[in-house]
Structure 1
Amino acid sequence: MATGAYSIGVCNGLLGDPLPSPQEVVALYKANDINKMRLYAPHQPTFQALKGSNIEVMLGVPNEDLQRIAGNDLTPAYDFVYGNIVDNRATINFKYIAVGNEVDLQYFQYVLPAMRNIQRAVEAAGLQNQVKVTTATYSAVLDKTYPPSNSVFRAEYLQYMWPIIGFLAEKGSPLCANIYPYFAYIGNPSSIRLDYALFTAPGTVVTDGRFRYQNLFDAMLDSFYAAVEKAGGPSVKIVVSESGWPNAGESAATTANAQTYLNGLIRHVKGGTPRRPNGPIEAYIFAMFDENKKPLPETERHFGLFFPNKQPKYLF
């Protein structure tokens, strides 16, 4: 999994049964030179296994906790930061706290207040230069994404995203975005070429002014950059907090397609995008294991790089 001097991360979802023990999981990360882990919520057994591993960790604040952490009482935010980050900072390399993941519009009002409270706790612990506070969003917040330069935040999200972008710019933190060419492709297969989604197009597919796009991943990532720029954040970097391709569940979800996409992604993140050519791109593959407890559709259960028995699905 190592890509020269740069290593791609992998999301460690826990919605499978059975899954290997946290100690086995961390050993599998290390054996495959995976040096970054996204963890969606605090999980003490995984913390124990991570100690001394030097794996960089993106730790999530679950969506169901946002309203509580966003309140005037700072205790929940301090409990989260001190109970998880501060208590383990000597032995675990925490890099990001992702406050919420693909938050629904009805709960979006809580994202920025929760981020601010978590930030206060991080600063109180003196960790603001080590641990960056962010949120993980997704393509549903964008509008007018074709061509990428036209992209803006959807009107109903803009009132929330504008101050979030301002917060990130002020604190020098990135925005996290989950980017899935797979879902874009299956949502519009008559207009999107499969080779464009799989990094295998032989030449330019989309021309956007001076920018030329040969793959959909770049177009989707640059759509975020265009929207962020228009929301007052030209300096805000984007971390790809999830990307992957399932290998079962519908016609495009095959092992061959997933292998092609993942190999293409791993090669591609060493460079940049047409809009942001100075790479590398920091990215996390979704996910380490198939998760058979995830809700339908069936494809959601087949994004793993490994089967639960630790056998790899793909060759890298």
Structure 2
Amino acid sequence: MAVPQKLPTAAAATALSLAFLMPFLLPTEAQIGVCYGTLGDNLPSRQDVVKLYQSNGIGAMRIYWPDQPALQALQGSGIKLILDVPRESIQSLGSDPSAAMQWVQTNVVPFASSIKYIAVGNEVYQYTDIAPSVGPAMQNVLNALNSANLGGQIKVSTAIDTSLISKPYPPSGSEFSDMSFMGPIVDFLKTNGSPLLVNVYPYLVYVYNKQVMDVNYGLFTSPRTILADKATGLQYQNLFDVIVDSVYTALSKAGAPNIAIVVAESGWPSDGGDAATVGNAETYYRELIKHAKQGTLLKPGQGIETYLFAMFDENNKSGDPTEQHYGLFYPNQQPKYQLNFN
């Protein structure tokens, strides 16, 4: 999870003073999945996790590396999967087509009935050593899928965070900050009909701007407009729409207005930081599940496939203390919140 851009103080203060109501949006269906992290020493077995997904009506999962026991447990479950290529594999898959072929043969072909997307990297930054390998790795993985007659069944993408978006407030000003990195990725997605996977965290935007921002803006519970986009006339009551619409705008400016967005992560912590409470987290997840069906202000009625982060609290995660408190369930498989996933 990246630190988001800070709202300009003057713009934020002006936005907070606005008082217009958001237009009503008609809901449509959108797939809700849950990310499955394993960085805990007290978590259930892979088989029990799959049963927990099924018993709660959760039909989609994301895993962050080709975890063979998890892939095996998913077979026949009906659960569809985002499977990540971990960052340590990206350079080899990008430079060596035979390595991509072997990766697909080992990690995809035996489990193909469960896999919907392959995410080549998670939040790879444009200034890192592996950044130039992301595009070639995506192409080599797709070529390997095509060789296995799976290219029409499994879509290849990458998962970005919104630090790659410049000038996101208001969304109409947004664009990708580095087209030398994002340009080839966007062209690949457009050519192959793949969505862009995006990690969306209103919580992080709120924490970085809490001096000038009402927490309800992040929780979908603001009763009034917080940000008015003068260029489009759209009036935003929640940060989620602002963030997602900034990516839609960046894609449009990059020549790909029709690329779909899949929210590959989104969550709110229940402990460990500012506004990180069980009550706030439950509100966020409950409202996000409902809101994903409605679409955003730029794409009203166009439901967004969304993956909640994450299935369990992970007590071995490093970084900010909140990182250990994103779970929807306790390690004993009891629900932390009362949510209806379908």
Q: Alignment partner of 1:314: what SS?
A: coil
Q: In the TM superposition, what is the alpha-carbon distance from 1:213 to its structure 2 partner?
A: 1.1
Q: In the TM superposition, what is the alpha-carbon distance from 1:293 to its structure 2 partner?
A: 1.0
Q: In the TM superposition, what is the alpha-carbon distance from 1:5 to its structure 2 partner?
A: 5.4
Q: Does 1:192 align with 2:213?
A: yes
Aligned to 1:21: 45
Query: What do the CA deviations read for 1:195-225 (whole angstroms, capped 9, x no partner)?
Result: 1100001122211132121110010000111
- Range that drifts further, 21-30 or 287-296: 287-296
Q: Alignment partner of 2:108: what SS?
A: helix
TM-score, scaled relative to structure 1: 0.95
Q: Alignment partner of 2:290: what SS?
A: helix
Unaligned runs of at least 5 residues, structure 2 = 1-26
Inter-CA distance 226–10: structure 2 relative to 1 (3 Å threshold): same
Q: Which has the higher contact order (CA 8 A, sep 6+)?
A: 2
* 1:267 maps to which of 290, 302, 318: 290
Q: Does 1:64 align with 2:88?
A: yes
Is the CA contact (8 Å cut-off) linking 1:199 and 1:261 kept in structure 2?
Answer: yes
Q: In the TM superposition, what is the alpha-carbon distance from 1:4 to its structure 2 partner?
A: 8.9
Q: What is the one-letter code of the residue matched to 2:223?
A: P
* 1:181 maps to which of 202, 227, 231: 202
Aligned to 1:225: 248
Partners in 2 of 1:251 and 1:58 — Cα distance? Answer: 30
* 1:300 maps to which of 323, 327, 341: 323
Aligned to 2:160: 137
Q: What is the one-letter code of the residue matched to 1:127?
A: L
Partners in 2 of 1:266 and 1:235 — Cα distance? Answer: 23
* 1:88 maps to which of 81, 101, 111: 111
Q: Moved runs in structure 1, 4+ residues, more than 6 A? A: none
Q: Does 1:278 align with 2:296?
A: no
Partners in 1 of 2:76 and 2:316 — Cα distance? Answer: 30
Aligned to 2:14: none
Please report the RMSD computed on the Cα atoms of aligned residues, expressed in angstroms: 1.3
Partners in 2 of 1:139 and 1:185 — Cα distance? Answer: 14
Is the CA contact (8 Å cut-off) linking 1:7 and 1:33 kept in structure 2?
Answer: no
Aligned residues: 309
Q: Alignment partner of 2:251: what SS?
A: helix
Q: What is the one-letter code of the residue matched to 2:116?
A: K
Is the CA contact (8 Å cut-off) linking 2:293 and 2:301 kept in structure 1?
Answer: no
Aligned to 1:38: 62
Aligned to 2:121: 100
Unaligned runs of at least 5 residues, structure 1 = none
TM-score, scaled relative to structure 2: 0.88
Is the CA contact (8 Å cut-off) linking 1:7 and 1:34 kept in structure 2?
Answer: no
Q: Alignment partner of 1:37: what SS?
A: strand
Inter-CA distance 169–7: structure 2 relative to 1 (3 Å threshold): closer
